[in-house]
């Protein structure tokens, strides 16, 4: 039994990813289940933000407010994301052809996209700096909220989508999920110490919650790909771009973080993305087809995280 449990822990994330894809593929091949589709969709779309809220609440419970301070590597990562986003936007202005513009916009999304809410869970498992990545999570959301409304009009001019409108849309999308868990966690820390001690005692709970959320994320990604009307050439190109962005950002994050003794943390901060938010940004601010880049990126970064966690559990990764 212990061996089976150990194998399950080693392969929990690939199992969650496979389960998410299989559940949706089974569902669409059983016609009798189709009437339940709208209800199931609403359940999943409710559960995803709820589980992310719980994950952030648990992360903030483990962090003392005094540890929430900027690190030197934060500035370098913020510069990397912002400047690469701006550079690609400038390139798109002078680039002919819709196909290449879509690929550039897909890369823009993947580069400016904020760090995933669950990144703190993986970082902790890999032995990284939990407070450091949680602080960066807040900083990059602030930078994204300002950068996207400033830069996107260069490639998608719109009289309706003004800076203030875009800014308010992004703030309304991400900040309730960031600030409310933080406030709630610190209320529990300072007013209910016994409850706080019980919460932090369950160290593996965030990991299991993340596995469930990952299954739901892959389920929705599979749904998006199956029902996509995007031509195969575009899908292949966007998948390749998202894979390249994933590899680049994990590598760049680790190289930057290595200078400050934060290789793992900076790698996760830059490489692990809030792909649900990326999908929303794609169909809200960019050419809608670019939204599938977030779905593909979700597969790549979770596959890489699974490999990292496997190596860590077997003592092969620092």
- Please enumerate in sequence order all residues whose Cβ is within 8 A of that of 91, keeping only pairs 6 or more positions apart, or say none: 104
Considering only residues 202 and 2, tell me which one the structure prediction assigns the higher pLDDT.
202
**Residue 317 scores a pLDDT above 60:** no
Write down the pTM of the prediction.
0.86
Confidence of residue 56 (pLDDT cuts 50, 70, 90): confident
Q: Which two tokens stand for residue 210?
A: 């993340």
Q: What is the pLDDT of residues 256-291, one digit of tens each?
A: 999 999 999 999 999 999 988 888 888 888 888 888
Question: What integer pLDDT is reported at residue 81 of this predicted model?
Answer: 96
Q: Give the Å distances, CA to CA, from 209 to 47, 107, 214, 221.
A: 11, 29, 9, 18
Residue 210, pLDDT score? 83
Highest mean pLDDT among 13-17, 57-61, 101-105, 264-268: 264-268
Q: What is the DSSP string of 173-234?
A: HHHHHHHHHHHHHHHHHHH-HHHHHHHHH-TTHHHHHHHHHHHHHHHHHHHHHHT--S-HHH
pLDDT in tens, 149-184: 888 887 877 656 677 888 888 888 878 888 888 889
* The predicted structure's pLDDT at residue 7: 64
State the pLDDT confidence band at 301, using cuts at 50, 70 and 90.
very high
For residue 9, pLDDT over 70 is answered with: no
Angle between helix 37-61 and helix 205-226 axes, rounded to 10 deg? 150
Angstrom CA distances, 262 to 127, 128, 197, stand at: 10, 7, 28
Which residue shows structure tokens 């800014």?
A: 167
Task: Supply the pLDDT for residue 4.
Answer: 63
CA distance 267 to 253: 4
């Amino acid at each position: 039994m212990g061996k089976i449990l150990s194998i399950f822990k080693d392969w929990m994330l690939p199992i969650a990813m496979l389960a998410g894809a299989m559940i949706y593929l089974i569902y669409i091949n059983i016609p009798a289940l189709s009437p339940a589709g709208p209800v199931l969709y609403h359940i999943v779309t409710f559960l995803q933000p709820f589980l992310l809220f719980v994950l952030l609440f648990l992360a903030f419970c483990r962090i003392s407010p005094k540890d929430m301070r900027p690190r030197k590597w934060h500035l370098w990562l913020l510069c990397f994301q912002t400047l690469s986003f701006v550079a690609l936007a400038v390139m798109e202005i002078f680039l002919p052809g819709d196909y290449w513009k879509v690929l550039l916009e897909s890369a823009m999304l993947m580069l400016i996209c904020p760090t995933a809410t669950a990144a703190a869970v993986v970082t902790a498992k890999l032995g990284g700096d939990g407070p450091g990545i949680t602080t960066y999570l807040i900083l990059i959301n602030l930078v994204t909220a300002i950068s996207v409304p400033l830069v996107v009009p260069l490639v998608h001019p719109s009289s309706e989508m003004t800076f203030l409108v875009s800014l308010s849309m992004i703030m309304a999308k991400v900040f309730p999920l960031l600030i409310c868990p933080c406030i709630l966690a610190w209320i529990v820390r300072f007013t209910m110490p016994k409850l706080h001690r019980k919460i932090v005692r369950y160290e593996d709970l965030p990991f299991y919650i993340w596995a469930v959320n990952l299954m739901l994320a892959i389920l929705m990604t599979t749904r998006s790909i199956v029902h996509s009307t995007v031509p195969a050439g575009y899908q292949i190109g966007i998948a390749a771009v998202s894979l390249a962005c994933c590899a680049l950002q994990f590598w760049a994050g680790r190289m930057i973080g290595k200078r400050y003794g934060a290789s793992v943390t900076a790698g996760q901060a830059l490489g692990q993305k809030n792909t649900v938010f990326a999908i929303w940004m794609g169909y809200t601010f960019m050419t809608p087809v670019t939204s599938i880049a977030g779905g593909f990126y979700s597969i790549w970064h979770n596959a890489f995280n699974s490999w990292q966690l496997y190596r860590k559990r077997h003592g092969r990764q620092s």
